[in-house]
Amino acid sequence: MKASASIALWIQPRSRRNEVVGMRDDAVVIRLTAPPVDGAANEALRSFVAERLGIAPSRVALVRGQSSRRKWIAVEGLSVDRVRCALLGVSHTQ
């Protein structure tokens, strides 16, 4: 994957549904149904982000925070602003 800037996320595992709920400090808050066991939540996160962006999960890399609720991801070919706007459902100007 080409190097790109990373975006901060705050993950809430074992939720009722997969959803983006807003911002917390400088991180996008995402709720996932997957438990934080054996990397299940990390894989669910990659799949969820890819689905929201309409891209292949292989383009989403977990950069930091593999065993933490605070995670950083990078998306191949997309800027941090574009990813953040797509996750939050707001239009990106530029």
User: Do the domain assignments include residue 72?
Assistant: yes
User: Do the domain assignments include residue 27?
Assistant: yes
Mean pLDDT of the chain: 92
**Phi/psi of residue 20, nearest 5 degrees:** -95, 130
Residue 16 three-state SS: coil
Any idea what the CATH number is for the domain that residue 53 is in? 3.30.1200.10
What tokens were used for 43? Answer: 């894989």
The boundaries of the domain holding residue 16 are 7-88
The residue-averaged pLDDT of 31-48 equals: 95
The residue-averaged pLDDT of 77-92 equals: 89
Domains contained in the chain, number: 1
d(CA 18, CA 6): 21
The residue-averaged pLDDT of 38-67 equals: 95
DSSP state letter for 91:
P
User: Do the domain assignments include residue 94?
Assistant: no
